[in-house]
Amino acid sequence: MKLEPKDIRIDGTPNAFKRGMKVGTPLCWMTITHQPSMQCVRVLQNENESQHRCRDRAMALLELLMDDFEDTQFIHREQFDGSD
């Protein structure tokens, strides 16, 4: 499924460390929401990964989730159609 940019909301949230001090680039959570269906994917950035790569991973997961969501809706429509 091709997702429209106007239907997508992307949020980046820094990962809060519990204790101690971390040096270097802080990790972040990338949250992508498909607003019409409110389906959401949240991915934690790896240490050696850019935010762009993390966003690409999250978008790929959201596309898979939306494909599964559409397939499930189609199956339910067939079940409640009433045709034998």
pLDDT digits 0-9 by tens, 35-79: 988 889 999 888 788 888 988 999 999 998 888 877 666 555 555
Three-state SS sequence of 25-83 = CCCEEEEEEECCCCEEEEEECCCCCCHHHHHHHHHHHHHHHHHHHHHHHHHHHHHCCCC
Pairwise CA distance, residues 63 & 25, whole Å:
28
pTM of the model: 0.69
Domain ranges for the chain: 5-11+28-79
